[in-house]
């Protein structure tokens, strides 16, 4: 099956902030997390994908259609939850549901009611009078049941309590199971959302670091404790070092070096995904190691 999304060499200058060039492909059946520090450009990328901003160079294709063209028919296949919704404050959840559900032929009323019950969302209160967390839940309940094949979520859990995050994870897993679907979600480093992701697309202050398969990434990074002091020279694969320990993203090359240089290592452990992301979001030195 064809890709749902193809982003090619996309770049955008916003005042003194430069985003890209970004290259991302999203296949059906996958969840991609856009990961980056604050202000790295995650929301801007989602807006570019939704044709809410124009790129300076490059292009995005969604379901085979260029998003920059005047024909936006592809939008009926995409559900987008922005970080902040504008224009909803005066309306109750009930009114918003009636307005939005009428626009989406595959609207899933059962899924909507399930989310309202699970998140305990009051539908008779004006959106603007709800807490930020409840607004976020209502916004999701008005987005996920649209049942389009592609779901774009911008920081879906930033105001949510821990049980709600867990509920949302379950909802998204069920949602993915219902057909050829894909999710792209911006996230700082929410552990729940990271658990869901198949791929991480990492952006550091506008600079796109790359797409990584999550499982492969967690298998690549290893921490070694060595018995002797480390040599001053850069060790193959080294991305960071501490007192008698080194982190490598090329374990084979590192272990060969240890062997060739009679350096004994006592222990080797995998890194948490959070630690790996933290390293990826740090600046690199010229020798490939990361700034501490
Ligand atoms: N409308 C705008 N006018 C001026 N600058 C903007 C505008 N929107 C975004 N920017 C700038 O673009 C950069 C990227 O912002 P963006 O909101 O895309 O980042 P983000 O990764 O989503 O951040 P966060 O994690 O804090 O939500 C920031 O430097 C921001 O100041």
Concatenate the DSSP letters of all residues of 12-27 into one string.
EEETTEEEEEEEEEE-
The Å distance, Cα 184 to ligand 1 centre, comes to: 18
ipTM of this predicted structure: 0.94
pLDDT at 21: 97
pLDDT of residue 191: 77
Q: What values do phi and psi take at 163, rounded to 5?
A: -60, -35
Separation of alpha carbons 169 and 153, rounded Å? 13
Is the CB of residue 36 below 6 angstroms from any atom belonging to ligand 1? yes
Full DSSP string of 67-99: TTSS--GGGGGEEEE-SS-SS-TTSBHHHHHHH
Ligand 1 lined by 43 (C-beta under 6 Å): yes
Report mean pLDDT in 10-residue bins for the chain, 292 residues: 92 95 97 94 96 95 90 93 94 98 95 97 97 96 97 93 92 93 87 86 94 92 90 92 92 94 90 90 66 53
**Which pLDDT belongs to residue 68?**
84
pLDDT at res. 177: 94
Write down the pLDDT at residue 283: 67
Peptide bond connecting 266 to the previous residue in cis, omega within 30 degrees of 0: no
44 Cβ closer than 6 Å to some ligand 1 atom: yes
38 touches ligand 1 (CB under 6 Å): yes
The reported pLDDT for the residue numbered 17 is: 96
Among the listed residues 270, 290, 287, 288, the one whose alpha carbon sits nearest the alpha carbon of residue 279: 290
Residue from 22, 39, 203 whose mutation best tests the ligand 1 pocket (most atoms within 8 A of CB)? 39
pLDDT of residue 119: 97
Residue 95's CB is within 10 A of a number of other CB atoms, namely 15
Task: Give the closest residue (by CA) to ligand 1 atom 16.
Answer: 41
Q: Rounded CA gap, 221 and 112, in Å? A: 41
- Residue 121 CA to residue 171 CA, distance in Å, equals 16
The residue whose CA has the least distance to atom 2 of ligand 1 is: 14
CA Rg, the chain, in Å? 22
Quote the CA–CA distance of 87 and 186 in Å, as a whole number: 22
pLDDT at 69: 79
Q: Which two tokens stand for residue 129?
A: 């009078």
At 184 the pLDDT is 97
CB atoms within 10 A of CB 137: 27
SS3 content of the chain, % helix, strand, coil (to 5): 35, 30, 40
Residue 192: the pLDDT is 74
User: Angle 184-81-37 (CA atoms, 0-180°, nearest 5)?
Assistant: 60
User: Between the CA of residue 26 and those of 58, 179, 194, 233, 277, what are the distances in Å?
Assistant: 17, 15, 17, 40, 20
> Sheet containing 150-154: which strands, arranged edge to edge?
78-81, 150-154, 182-187, 31-36, 199-204, 207-213
The string of DSSP letters for 148-202 reads: -SEEEEESTTTT--HHHHHHHHHHHHHHHHTSS-EEEEEESS-HHHHHH-SEEEE
């Amino acid at each position: 099956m064809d890709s749902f999304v193809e982003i090619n060499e996309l770049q955008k200058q916003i005042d003194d902030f430069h985003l890209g060039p970004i290259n991302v492909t999203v296949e059906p059946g996958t969840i991609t997390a856009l990961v980056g520090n604050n202000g790295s450009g995650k929301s801007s990328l989602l807006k570019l994908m939704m044709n809410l901003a124009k790129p300076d160079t490059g292009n995005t294709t969604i379901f085979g259609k260029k998003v920059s063209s005047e024909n936006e028919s592809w939008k009926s296949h995409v559900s987008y939850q922005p970080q902040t919704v504008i224009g909803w404050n005066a309306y109750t959840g009930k009114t918003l549901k009636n307005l939005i559900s009428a626009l989406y032929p595959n609207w899933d009323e059962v899924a909507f009611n399930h989310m309202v019950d699970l998140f305990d969302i009051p539908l008779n209160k004006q959106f603007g009078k709800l807490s930020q967390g409840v607004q976020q839940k209502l916004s999701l309940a008005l987005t996920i049941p649209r049942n389009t094949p592609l779901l774009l979520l911008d920081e879906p859990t930033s105001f949510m309590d821990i049980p709600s995050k867990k509920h949302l994870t379950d909802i998204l897993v069920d949602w993915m199971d219902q057909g050829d679907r894909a999710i792209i979600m911006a996230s700082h480093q929410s552990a729940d959302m990271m658990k869901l992701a198949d791929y991480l697309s990492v952006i550091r202050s506008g600079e796109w670091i790359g797409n990584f398969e999550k499982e492969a990434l967690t298998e690549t990074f290893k921490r070694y404790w060595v018995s002797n002091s480390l040599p001053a020279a850069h060790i193959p694969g080294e991305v960071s070092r501490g007192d008698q320990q080194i982190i490598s993203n090329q374990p084979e090359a590192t272990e060969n070096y240890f062997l060739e240089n009679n350096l004994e290592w006592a222990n080797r452990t995998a890194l948490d995904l959070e630690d790996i992301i933290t390293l990826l979001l740090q600046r690199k030195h010229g020798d490939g190691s990361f700034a501490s």
